[in-house]
Amino acid sequence: MNYFKSIFISLALISSNSFAATDCTTTIDRIWAGDEGYIWFHLNNNGSFKMSSTDLDQKSILAMGMTALTTGNSIVVRYHEDNADCTSGNRDDLRGIYLYGRTL
């Protein structure tokens, strides 16, 4: 019985860290493409993140980022780190972004 209890507790501890994340609401200031396939997003909250060309989400996030930049819509940037500093630069732990629609 203690064996199963210790396994359950271990799995609970491991899985709780896999859902840690930080959401940062901001707008995009500018986008840079270059440096061997990297895309850099500079945000109006002074934060920034980069994506390599090997990231499977790069094209989708670039399309959403360009839409946000040209329309002025806000985005929510989700980082893997729990309690991440939304204003830090050069982040590479991006989990994804949300694109807000306009309220008319």
State the CATH number of the domain containing residue 73: 2.40.50.110
Measured CA distances, 85 to 21, 28, 36, 79 (Å)? 11, 17, 27, 10
Q: Is 82 helix (H, G, I), strand (E, B) or coil?
A: coil
Range of the domain at 72: 21-99
Instruction: Look at residue 5 and tell me if it is in a domain.
Output: no
Residue 73 lies in a domain: yes
Confidence of residue 102 (pLDDT cuts 50, 70, 90): confident
Q: Per the domain annotation, does 26 fall within a domain?
A: yes
Bin 33: left if φ > 0, else alpha if -120 < ψ < 50, else beta: beta
What's residue 101's pLDDT? 85
**Tens-place pLDDT, residues 9-67:** 555 555 445 678 999 999 999 999 998 999 999 999 999 999 999 999 999 999 999 99
* Residue 33 forms part of a structural domain: yes
Rounded to two decimals, what is the model's pTM?
A: 0.77
Residue 10 lies in a domain: no
CA distance 20 to 78: 10
Query: What is the predicted pLDDT for the residue at 62?
Result: 97
Count of structural domains within the chain: 1
